[in-house]
Amino acid sequence: MLDLFERLALEAGRVVMEVFNADITVRRKPDASPVTDADRASEKLILEGLRAAYPHIPCVAEEEASEGIAPANPGRTFFLVDPLDGTKEFIDRHTDFTVNIALIRNGRPEIGVVYAPCTRRFFSGRPGLAQAIDVTPDHRMTGRRKIGVRQARVPLAIVASRSHRTAETDAFIRKIEAAEIVSVGSSLKFCLVASGEADVYPRFGRTMEWDTAAGDAILRAAGGITRTPDGRPLVYGKRNQPQETDFANPSFIASGRISGQPGVPAWP
């Protein structure tokens, strides 16, 4: 399954870059968020590949969900797809947008890939193994290496959202000693923690499960964890939530091996 995820992510990356290198037409979804031809073409390619290979596993995907298309009951095992995470970054011609594919099993992100086609940063994860993959300019894999979270040192290195920074996030950062604050878009924030390039990624504010599942799978495979501020592991497949839509996430803190920092749930 991971091999299929990697192949589909690379193919979707080629499609995304074709649009990125041409004129980008921006439309608005019912919730007023932007969508482009790259989002839709990438999702179509990924879903066709997943459904052909695993017709018995339901798919939950961002663009289908925005049109009201989602399995009535995805069950305990399903795919989560974000065909272009960081659409605003894509529209603004920033480079850290990503393609994301994940498998959820029993509320946990078990397998995931995150591919940034513009910078060709590619990460994958399955239980017990997270990897960074080398990719050529024509989106072909040439090699891979194992990655893992690092033992955090004080002061910490923090990654934060470029487009969705909140007052709560700033307050969290002020509580801890931060050596470096790196602003980056999309699910790459999870991957920087997974690869030992950063220590913690706090997100206070609304995200959807397809935004986080693939990066979270890679982080957990690398030895990290994503938890809510009260210390509970972030779970997936959330439906019928009071005062919230299906598949919406609460605030969370993704981290490597950290202990003794105020406001950061202790590892593991």
Annotated binding site for substrate: 62, 84-87, 211
CA–CA separation, 56 and 138 (whole Å): 32
Residue type, 77: T
Binding residues for Mg(2+) are: 62, 82, 84-85, 211
CA–CA separation, 182 and 190 (whole Å): 12
Binding residues are: 62, 82, 84-87, 211
User: Residues near 207 by Cβ (< 8 Å), separated by ≥ 6?
Assistant: 248, 249, 252
| Residues facing 103 on adjacent strands | 79, 111
Cα→Cα distances 164→7, 18, 161, 187, 193, Å: 30, 26, 5, 12, 18
Question: What is the phi-psi region of residue 178: left when phi exceeds 0, alpha when psi lies from -120 to 50, beta otherwise?
Answer: beta
Within 13 A of 206's CA, how many CA atoms are on the CB side? 6
**Residues 217 and 234 sit within 8 Å (Cβ to Cβ):** no
